[in-house]
Amino acid sequence: MAKIFKTTCYNKVFSIFWRLIMEFGFKKLACMVLLASAAVAGESGVFVGGEAGIYSSKNSYDSPWQDYSPADSGVDSYSWSDRAGEFGFKIGYVFSKNHRGYAGYYKSGTVKDSAEWEASLSKFLVGYDYTPEIAKTWRGVLGLYGGYAKVDMSVDDLSFSVNGTLFGGKLGVIYELGEKSEIEMGIKVERVGLKDKQFVEDAIGTSSIANYTQTNRGIFIGYNYKF
């Protein structure tokens, strides 16, 4: 019985497929299959992009000493805010119209306080974007990202680097210029967390660890090209 059932199913599938060929013609059916395959393939692929933005950066440095306080503040913690530009590039893969992933490098300008503290940020990150269609040539973008962060800092006559991690999110829109290119714009919020030991050793000769955090909020615009 099972063998007869399978044979009957195969025959029905074959007869339906044959009727499609006879009705539409083999060439038309082949074209339909090719077009469907191309549409699916067109939704995925490698892309590269460049980006620029401007951000408001809030910096906080919590140090375990009193006698070498930032900007002679007389306390063991210090914070300042400033604005800085940022540029970066990324390479990624479009899994489908609504999903993409990427890896990128970003570099920010120097943020300064009113005294002698300066900091610039380098980021190596990976991210995921959800990009639903909202109009004919417009897509939304909701993304999360994280990775490695390096802050180059200086105060008085000391220069040092602090390493750590970052995580952030973005919300925006994508305007499709064509099949291959698009403009992306929106807002980002991110937090950088780092721990520094070397600066404390240089300053007071101990192995204590200082904590540095940076919170960035801003706008960005970028261009992506899809292969």
**Quick one: what percent of the chain has pLDDT higher than 90?**
37
Average pLDDT, the chain: 76
Question: CATH 2.40.160.20 occupies which residues in the chain?
Answer: 45-226
Instruction: Look at the pTM and tell me if it is higher than 0.85.
Output: no
For range 68-92, the mean pLDDT: 71
Q: Can you give the pLDDT at residue 97?
A: 85
Q: What share of the chain is helix, strand, coil (3-state, %, to 5)?
A: 20, 60, 20
pLDDT at position 26, please? 46
Q: Which of 6-10, 163-167, 223-227 has the lowest mean pLDDT?
A: 6-10
Query: Average pLDDT for residues 197-218, to the nearest whole number?
Result: 64
> How many distinct helices (H) and strands (E) make up the chain?
3, 8
Q: Give the fold, CATH level 3, of 45-226.
A: Porin (2.40.160)
Q: Compute CA distances 149 → 63, 122, 140, 188, 213, whole Å.
A: 19, 6, 27, 16, 11
